[in-house]
Amino acid sequence: MTNSGRITNIEWLRIVAMLAVVLIHIDACYTYTILPATRFAVPFFFMVAGYFLGEQNKKKNWKKYIIRSLILLLSATLLYAAVDFVGSWHSGRNICDRSWGQILMTWIVFNKNPFHYHLWFLGAYLYVIIIGALIDKFNAWKQIYWLIVPLLIARFGIQLLDFPPYITRNFLFIGLLCFLLGSWFRSKQNIFSSHLLQKGIVWICCFISILPFVEDYLLQNAFGIQYGDLFTSYIFAFCLLLAAVYLPQVLQQYLPHQTRDLVLGIYIIHPLVQLIYLHVLSSRALIIYNTWFAPIIVFITSWLICRAVFLLYEILKKKQ
């Protein structure tokens, strides 16, 4: 473990999952091909949250987590609201030409953020933390685990009915479901602690990693369905969490400082970094950038910006 009690392998997988999110959101000539392999990222983030914050024999400061999540959600929303306003003003589009009643309803109920699609995660995370606090208060962890299977069935059953993505991409069908899976695993670690399972977990993960490609191929070619999320991606995310916990911890000395905050910062700003590149690059550079390098450049740039911000914050904090 790290000095803060974090598991080193999980911290590294956070970084890999963040790169996967960037690959989902930002296109290049190869992103569509590898897309099924990247779908594990968001379920993994929620499973990790459940693993660390779910059922444990210790008190947690839920109020601190809720306030922090609320501040992050409102700050990120205001940031992208300002970006949307500037873009609307520049293009002459009326920012108020939408039904704000419906927008607010889908935001409050389904976490569909009105200013940028990727911010749904922050709203879903806030709701999940609030639900976790209530479960903890009433000591209802063992009872709430019975929701895992119905939520999983409902999540992919509803998706078959071709509803808008936000109906299933929200705090309930991704956030709470995966949070409970992570918490359940933490409470049942002894079930998975056999030497045979630990010895074969790498091979299990390698096998499971192929299944999202198979599922995506079958859905598109056999049934004509194009899913945003894949059932096997949830299995892959869960297996990665098992591997991160049970395999020997590696590269602790190279683990970036404040990994969790760094990954969260990259998640928030990477679409904005992409927008900046699209406006500042020349047309010739833009062709090369969009074809090959966009996801990697955006990830590295976002990383450097967040590291610089955290470093500046630490310097200012020391001077006070």
pLDDT of residue 218: 87
Could you read off the pLDDT of 38-61 as tens digits, one per residue? 999 999 999 999 999 988 767 889
pLDDT of residue 304: 96
Lookup result for tokens 């949830």: 234
For residue 240 the two structure tokens come to: 């990665």
Q: Is residue 33's pLDDT more than 80?
A: yes
For residue 154 the two structure tokens come to: 């409902």
Q: Which helix (H) or strand (E) holds 319?
A: helix 294-319
Q: Is residue 198's pLDDT more than 90?
A: no
Q: Which helix (H) or strand (E) holds 97?
A: none
CA atoms within a 13 Å half-sphere pointing along the CA-CB vector of 206: 4
For residue 222 the two structure tokens come to: 């056999």
Contact 106, 166 (CB under 8 A): yes
In Å, how far are 173, 208, 257 from 226, measured between CA atoms? 18, 20, 39
How far apart (Å, rounded) are the C-alpha atoms in residues 246 and 9?
A: 9
Q: What 8-state DSSP symbol labels residue 172?
A: I
pLDDT of residue 162: 75
pLDDT of residue 300: 97
Could you read off the pLDDT of 261-315 as tens digits, one per residue? 999 999 999 999 999 999 999 999 999 999 999 999 999 999 999 999 999 988 8
For residue 290 the two structure tokens come to: 């969009």
Question: What integer best gives the mean pLDDT of the chain?
Answer: 89
Calculate mean pLDDT across residues 6-18. 93
How far apart (Å, rounded) are the C-alpha atoms in residues 56 and 28?
A: 42
In Å, how far are 83, 85, 118 from 77, measured between CA atoms? 10, 12, 10
How far apart (Å, rounded) are the C-alpha atoms in residues 283 and 268?
A: 27
Could you read off the pLDDT of 126-154 as tens digits, one per residue? 999 999 999 999 999 999 999 999 999 99
Could you read off the pLDDT of 65-120 as tens digits, one per residue? 999 999 999 999 999 999 988 887 776 666 666 677 888 889 999 999 999 999 99
State whether residue 180 is helix, strand or coil. helix
Calculate mean pLDDT across residues 160-166. 81
pLDDT of residue 199: 74
pLDDT of residue 5: 62
